[in-house]
Amino acid sequence: RVLVIGANGQIGSELVEALTVNHGAENVIAADIAPRSLFGAHCYETVDVLDKDRIAQVVERYGVTQVYQLAALLSVTGEQAPLKAWTLNMNGLLNILELARDRKQAGKPLKVFWPSSIAAFGPHTPAVDTPQLAVMDPTTIYGISKQAGERLCEYYFSKFGVDVRSIRYPGIISYKSPPGGGTTDYAIAIFHAAKRGERYACYLGPDTTLPMIYMPDAIRATIELMDAPAEQIRVRSAYNVAGLSFNPRELAQAIKKSVPGFEISYQPDHRQAIADSWPHSLDDTYARADWGWHAAIGLDQLAQDMLAHIEAPALHHAA
Ligand code: VAH
C-alpha cells in the first residue's frame, strides 16, 4: 500500500492519481491536514505530518510499504513564516525517516520519497548545467530546509539503511490544482491570464531563466526513481532532474503562438531575489545514468497542453 502525505497539494494530488493507476485505488491512501480530500481520492485520512504517532497508526492500519512525504511550505510562503516553514519541513521529514527506521528494525521496511528542490542551490552554485555535486548556499528558509533534508536522507540511508529517495524538483508547471506559494508559480499564473484574454504582469524580469518541468514529466521521474532497483540508486541525497529551462520572455513567446494577442509586462518584486539565487539549468547526468531518466516535454508542448486544459482553479475545489 502507498501513503501520500500532502495529497491535497500541487504534486500530491497528481501523484495520488498516477499511483492509483499503477497500484489500484484500494492500495493508495491520500492524507493531508485538511478534514477531507479536495480531489475525491478513493481512500483519505486526515494526517498532520507533525503528528508522528498518527502517521504510525495509519501506516500500521493499512500495511503501508511506501510513503511520499510532500507536506511543506514553499519558498515564498516560507519567507513569510521562517520558523513555521523550518519546523514543518524538517520535523515532517524527520518523523517519516524515524518511522522508516523503526519499521525496518521491526522487519516491516518502508520505502520513502521526499522532494528536494533546485531551491537547495544558492548564489555561489554554478548556475549553468548545475552539477549533481555542487556548492550549495541556499538563501531561503525553504532552500535551507531542502539542503538539510538532503543531508538527513543520506544519513538515514547510510546509518540505518532506510530506503529513502529524492529528486531536486525544478519549478513544476501544472493545471490541475493551484500551486502553493512558489517563486516559479508565475509560469502557472501566466496561463490563467492568457486563457482569460488578459495581460499578465510578471513579478520576475524577462530574462529570469529557471529550470522547470511539466507535471507529467515530474510525476514520471518520481515513479521511475521509486520503481528502480535499490542497487541502481547511487545518490541518496537528491537527484538533479532536468525538464526544460526558460524565462518569462520565452514563455510569453510560446503562449503567443496560440494566443496571438497575449501581452506581458514585467514588474519584478521581492521574488526576483529568490529567483536570482537559483540556477538557470541542471546537469542530470546521474539520473540518466542510474535510472534512465530523460525529459519528454518541451516548451511548445507544455504551453499548448496548459492552454488546452487550464481552468480557473476555483472550479477544482467545488467539493
Ligand atoms: C517554489 N515551486 O517556487 C517551488 C519550487 C524550485 C521551485 O521549489 O518554491
* Per-residue pLDDT reduced to its tens digit, 178-188: 777 899 999 99
Q: How many CB atoms lie within 10 A of CB 246?
A: 25
In contact, 32 and 6? CB cutoff 8 Å: yes
Ligand 1 atom nearest 75 alpha carbon: 9
The protein residue with its alpha carbon nearest to ligand 1, atom 3, reads 182
CA quadruple 130, 213, 275, 207: dihedral positive or negative?
A: positive
Looking at residue 138, its pLDDT comes to 98
Please give the distance, rounded to the nearest whole angstrom, from the Cα atom of residue 256 to the centre of ligand 1: 25
Q: Is 63 exposed, middle or buried (0-12, 13-18, 19+ CB in 10 A)?
A: exposed
In contact, 103 and 109? CB cutoff 8 Å: yes
Nine-digit cell string for 41: 481520492
Q: Give the Cα separation of 138 and 274 in Å (integer).
A: 9
Ligand 1 atom nearest 172 alpha carbon: 2
Please give the distance, rounded to the nearest whole angstrom, from the Cα atom of residue 57 to the centre of ligand 1: 31
Interhelix angle 92-105/141-160, nearest 10 degrees: 10
Looking at residue 37, its pLDDT comes to 81
CA 270 remoteness from chain centre: 22
The protein residue with its alpha carbon nearest to ligand 1, atom 4, reads 182
The protein residue with its alpha carbon nearest to ligand 1, atom 1, reads 182
Q: Give the Cα separation of 130 and 120 in Å (integer).
A: 12
Q: Give the Cα separation of 215 and 10 in Å (integer).
A: 9
Catalytic annotation, pick one of 142, 175, 200, 214: 142
Looking at residue 55, its pLDDT comes to 98
Ligand 1 atom nearest 170 alpha carbon: 6
Is-catalytic flag, 142?
A: yes
Please give the distance, rounded to the nearest whole angstrom, from the Cα atom of residue 156 to the centre of ligand 1: 25
Q: Measured between alpha carbons, how far is residue 289 from residues 136, 230, 233, 239 in Å?
A: 23, 14, 10, 11
Across the strands, what pairs with 200? 264
Please give the distance, rounded to the nearest whole angstrom, from the Cα atom of residue 9 to the centre of ligand 1: 13
Looking at residue 180, its pLDDT comes to 75
Pocket test residue of 70, 166, 183 for ligand 1, highest count of atoms within 8 A of CB = 183
Please give the distance, rounded to the nearest whole angstrom, from the Cα atom of residue 130 to the centre of ligand 1: 16
Across the strands, what pairs with 111? 66, 163
User: Could you say which residues of the chain have pLDDT below 70?
Assistant: 39-41, 312-319
The protein residue with its alpha carbon nearest to ligand 1, atom 6, reads 171
The protein residue with its alpha carbon nearest to ligand 1, atom 7, reads 171
Of 138, 242, 117, nearest in space to 180 by CA:
117
Of 93, 94, 184, 91, nearest in space to 140 by CA:
184
Q: Give the Cα separation of 314 and 53 in Å (integer).
A: 34
Per DSSP, helices labelled H in the chain are 10-23, 52-62, 75-80, 82-86, 92-105, 141-160, 186-195, 215-227, 248-256, 271-276, 285-291, 299-309
Within 6 A (CB) of ligand 1 lie: 74-75, 117-119, 142, 170-172, 182-184
b/e 138-168 (16+ beta carbons within 10 angstroms → b): bbbbbbbbbbbbbebbbebbeeeebbbbbbb
Q: Which phi and psi angles does 27 have, rounded to 5°?
A: -105, 10
